[in-house]
Amino acid sequence: MPADTPPGYPFPPDQDPDRTIAYRTPQPVHPAQPAGHDNPRTQQLPQWHEPEELGYGMAPPADAYGNPGAYGNAGAYGNAGDYAGAAHGNPGAPAAPPKRGRGWIAALVAAVLVGVVGGGGVWAVAKLSGGGTQPQEVLPGNAIAYVRLDLDPAANQKVALFNIARKFSVTKDSFTGDDPRKAVFEALRKDAPDLGKVDYAKDVEPWLGDRIGVAVLAPAKAGADPGIAVAVQVKDEAAARTGIAKLATGKQPGLTFRDGYAILAQTQVEADAYGKAAPLTQNADFSDDLSALGEPGVLSFWADLGQIAKASGADQSADAAILEPIKNTRFAGALRFDGDYAELTGITRGGSATGATEPEPVKIGELPDSTVGALSVSGLGDVLEKQWPQIRKAAESTSDGQSFTQFLDQAQQNYGLALPDDLVTLLGKSLTVAVDQQGLNGDQPNVGAVLATDPGKAQEVLGKVEKFLADSGTPLQLAKAPGDGRLVVASAQGYADKLAKGGTLGDSETFKRAVPDADAATYALFVDLDKLEPLYAANLQGDEKANAEALRAVGLSGKYSGTEATFTLRVLFN
């Protein structure tokens, strides 16, 4: 069962090809890494029905931290429309705008999507094969946005995905069928009279594959709708042509075939053009971005934000100043699974430089081990100082621009607050906000911040802020603990002293699992859900309580430097 990854992904040759989550982002290309048919990810692996060879039988093994092979909830990653919609609308009806009423495309997409939230059993063990052409190899290379859903990714992705769904009551009962696509099709047919004459076993199952890709293309002319190309993997072209025609209601879609995919479009002329166009894999920006991203997982997406803004006309509107920093920015992301967590990872490239200096790694791991939640960001002061002219220009261009200017003037005249300088002082080299487990059940939780800045100057600025808040009717008195190159402020003096002393949060196995590469991250987030359970578990019962207890922690880590930024968001499960 060959695991599938498009050729050229820079995976170290000494790694297990079916545990591709180990390859972090970004990855340098190994000089000895083979490509094409020599790539180790195309090698044959033992079949799932031979558990003694795989070493884990019908259940996944414990991970490196000793956690059992059960991973959580399929709902943790959502549906493909969540990602596609953020950039270019819902791919649930991608071949035509909703006004055309193309319900057949909704049926196709939903039938494929069901594999993410349903199915299992016989279907799961029979589908650990991977391999084959990916949608980006057949969709047009001039796309400005792209979404791919793959129900036949690397074997470790599928094993983890199905075990995650079995952890939660809302999805575990769905993982008993032998074809999840049929279950969704039947559900759709109940609410779609036009599908009443369609027989799944005869008209759909014989040709429907495991992958779907949606590409959004720039409008042919200003003011026109964007082009939409949909690639649906098929097993039998003749059966697919007949089945799609039967699924269509009203005007037939444009349809052509290419390398095992049905290419669907609003018109036949468009479909023919898309089927002959240079593929997306020949788009250098797209290929470089996905290569840097690493393992594409079950869901991957890509967008050229500048081209999207241009296609929408936003770059010529009043918001043009706000969009200026992203005019050359591209974004790529992937949803993937491994061990006891689900992971969403992404990368942005090509935008304007965010700051004048390289940000230092955050020190979130030096917080007390009783920390229940924390957010740490490095370099915000430098970014604010550099971007302030654009921020002010954008704010003044809005309908409330005059009020913004008046606020700045009054803050300076009445309280001596000079913006952005005073705010840059507070943000300093890094800012870390934390909440402690102790006191969560009380009237005043322990909340504090560690400011890596000049402590004397920062205290002066805080004095101005406290006076401003007092005059505004919201008095605030902060406990302070100055130190060498930093100032700690908190809701109580005891917690300020505790933060100033530091701790060993970074030694926690939960923290290390949730926040990968924390020592190198320039921004990070951590929430220990197990420590929060006492706040809400007593009010939950039955399945709701069991589902909540299955969640362990949430973590985010990332880096930004110059024109590139990366992030990894993880949800851990017990």
Tokens of 240: 């697919």
User: Residue written as tokens 């921020």?
Assistant: 391
Mean of pLDDT over the chain:
75
pLDDT average, residue stretch 517-543: 87
Quick one: average pLDDT of 252-275?
95
Give the per-residue pLDDT at 22: 43
CB atoms within 10 A of CB 16: 13
pLDDT of amino acid 100: 39
Distance CA 258, CA 36 (A): 20
CA distances from residue 161 to 124, 133, 208, 336 in whole angstroms, order as listed:
10, 21, 21, 8
Structure confidence at residue 327 (pLDDT): 77
Confidence class of residue 112 from pLDDT cuts 50, 70 and 90? very low
Q: How far is CA 466 from CA 460, 470, 472, 480, 481, in A?
A: 10, 6, 10, 13, 16
- For residue 214, what pLDDT band results from cuts at 50, 70 and 90? very high
In this prediction the pTM is 0.70
The 10 Å CB-count burial string (b at 16+, else e) for 241-259 is bebbebbbeeeebbbbbbe
Q: How confident is the model at residue 121 (pLDDT cuts 50, 70, 90)?
A: very low
pLDDT tens, residue by residue, 398-434: 777 788 888 888 888 888 999 899 999 999 999 999 9
d(C-alpha 382, C-alpha 379), whole Å: 5
pLDDT band per the 50, 70, 90 thresholds, residue 167: confident
